A and B are shown apart, each in its own frame.
Chain A
Amino acid sequence: MRELLTYVVNGLAVGCGFALIAAGLVAVHRVTGVVNFAQGMFAVVAGLSASWLLGTGLPHGLSEGAAVLVAAVAGLLTGLLAIGRRGTTPQSALIVTLGVGVLAYAVEIVVWGDQPRSFPGLPGSVSVAGVGVQSQHLLVIAATAVTFALLTTFFGRTYLGKALTACASNPYAARVIGIDVTRMGLLAFVLGGLLGGVAGVLVTPLRPISFDTDVTLIVNGFAAAVFGSLGRAGLALVGALLLGLAESLAAGYGYAAYQLEIALGLMLVIMVVQSTRRTSVLEEPA
């Protein structure tokens, strides 16, 4: 029982990491219609930056904060390449983000090397229902909860969120009412970078991160985002937590080697189910 609880908490924390990646995907997709496959890269950049900054002697907090900002800059650059030129279709932009993700490998290897890096997170543990839970796990879960509360409020209940959503829904009409669609899209990419960065600095203490960790992150994050039809942050969170739990339980009961396969399998199932529903994956759900 105690074992199971540990796996569950661990799974939730890992799932929260995926959820933050998914949140970035959802934010960018809602505003631009682009599926941003460079989203995992933002987390990697933030994780590697944080570990490097801590290595230079910068204190905790500052290092993580700076690393998140680096990820936001990466988001802005990706956005400029993907949608900076007016008239780029979401489909072409998607290919650009894939290219940016691969190009980033080279940059990351040059800057930080190809070895996995990590850094200690919040030390200590807290006893919850008689089970010792690492503080870092709780931090990840709490940070994710706050982030999602803000995001769903923003997109669901405020007119500015609606205005951002309008950009993807009908860019032509959005411009007519004074919305700078390109600028809003870039803002969404910066937001995506921030969310990816937060995911990176939170998850790296749990699992060491290297230049190619973005594959695991994006596969899981994308599966979760698709669960929410790429537009609904709340559903994406549910999807991410389920994935995290499934992987953690699989690992706990001796199938650690199959984690990525489990994620891919679940993603396929979700995509097949979603594609048979009324709205297609690439359209805003009605």
Chain B
Amino acid sequence: MLSVKGVSRSFGGVYAVREVSLDIAEGEVRGVIGPNGAGKSTLFSLITGHLAADGGAISLGSERIERLPAHRRARLGVSIAFQGARVFRGMTVRENVMVGAHGRTRAGFAAAALRLPRHRRDEREIARRADEALERVGLTEWAGREAGLLPLGQQRSMQVARALCAGPRLLLLDEPASGLRAAEREALATLIEELRAGGLTIMLVEHDVAFVTRLADRITVLNLGEVITEGTPAEVRADPLVVSAYLGAAS
């Protein structure tokens, strides 16, 4: 479904991601773990198109996407919920989520300014989808509030709703659980399981290894920009390389 082949990216001669290859099957939940600075976020940026790769190939389905700009990849179905707060200030939570459906709308400027029937139909449909997405992440009661004023954990859930509203094929979650309380974390895990049951392909970067091993079908471990191992959660946990990378021992 997603295929990354030999992708590298360096900053000033230092590799943040080096010759990384991975294949993710349709409907798979893939965990990506690694110590700080392992290149997890850089890898996500390379997949979404916010960073250009120095070399290598990225395909979504049968389509090569590594040269496409970020918004084109988003329209092909690559969605991401960032780790940091990336909210549109001055808009309500619902509006933030509705904007997520932008790539799926057709009505143009004139239809919008004149509020033509076609635009109203689009808008109703998007509002319905946004409310549905908000309900899934448990933000229904926050829908009318100004997004910038939400606690960080809720801002992150809102981004998940925004990503869902775009109707993604591949959902990238960058540390979605950090900053959440236990109950919220549990709700997020349930949501991810539901999404997988619905057939969505998910990539999950997370510091909380227990959280990842519980949800992921397979896990890729990065260290210093390179894939050191990949396998099922049980295989990865048993791998001595992983233990040493996490403990910081020289191998």
A-B contact pairs, 6 of them (CB 8 A): A165-B90, A169-B91, A173-B88, A176-B74, A181-B71, A286-B146
Q: Is the CB of B126 within 8 A of A160?
A: no
B107 surroundings in chain A (CB, below 8 A):
160
Please give me the residue from chain A that is nearest to B130 by CB atom. Answer: A159
Contact A169 B89 (CB under 8 A): yes
Is A158 a contact of B123 with CB atoms below 8 Å? yes
**Docked complex: B96-116 residues within 8 A CB-CB of A:** 98-103, 105, 107-109, 112-115
Taking a contact as CB atoms under 8 Å apart, the answer to whether A153 and B126 are in contact is no
- Does B91 lie within 8 Å of A175, measured CB to CB? no
How far, in Å, is A83 (CB) from chain B's closest CB?
A: 15
Report the bound CA distance from A172 to B85 in whole Å: 11
Instruction: Bin chain B's interface residue count.
Output: 35 or more
Do A166 and B88 have beta carbons less than 8 Å apart?
yes
**Beyond known contacts A158-B123, A173-B88: 8 more, CB 8 A cutoff:** A159-B126, A160-B109, A162-B99, A172-B86, A175-B49, A176-B70, A179-B71, A179-B102
Q: How many angstroms from the CA of A179 to the CA of B72 in the assembled complex?
A: 8
Tally of contacts, chain A with chain B, CB under 8 A? 112
Binary contact readout A117-159 vs B (1 if CB under 8 angstroms, 0 otherwise)? 0000000000000000000000000000000001101100111
**Shortest CB–CB separation between residue A180 and chain B, in angstroms?**
5
Q: B87 on the interface (CB 8 Å rule)?
A: yes
Q: Mark A178-189, 1 if CB is under 8 A from B, else 0.
A: 111100000100
In the assembled complex, the Cα of A180 lies from the Cα of B75 at a distance in Å of: 10
| Residues of chain A lying within 8 A (CB to CB) of residue B49 | 175
With both chains docked as a complex, state the minimum distance between the C-beta of B107 and any C-beta of chain A, in angstroms: 7
Q: A252 in the interface, Cβ–Cβ < 8 Å? A: no
B95 within 8 A of partner (CB): yes
* Interface contact A187-B90, CB-CB below 8 Å: no
* CB–CB B105/A173 < 8 A: no
Contact status A286-B115, CB under 8 Å: no
B84 shortest CB reach to chain A, Å: 10
Q: Is the CB of B113 within 8 A of A178?
A: no
CB contact between A160 and one of B79, B87, B112, B146 (< 8 Å): that residue = B112
Interface residue from B69, B100, B166 paired with A175 (Cβ < 8 Å): B69
- Known contacts A166-B88, A178-B71, A159 near B99 by CB under 8 Å: yes
Say if the beta carbon of A273 comes within 8 Å of chain B: no
Of A150, A162, A172, A231, the contact of B91 (CB 8 Å cutoff): A162
Bound state CA distance, A174 and B159, in angstroms?
Answer: 12
Query: How many Å lie between the Cα of A175 and that of B166 in the bound state?
Result: 12
Say whether B18 faces chain A, with CB atoms less than 8 Å apart.
Answer: no
Pick from A151, A169, A178, A286: contact of B103, CB below 8 A: A178
A172 to B45, CA, bound (A): 11
Minimum C-beta distance from B82 to chain A (A): 7
B40 at the A interface (CB under 8 A): no
Report the separation of the CA atoms of residues A196 and B72 in the bound assembly, to the nearest whole angstrom: 32
The reply to whether A158 and B112 form a contact with Cβ atoms under 8 Å apart is yes
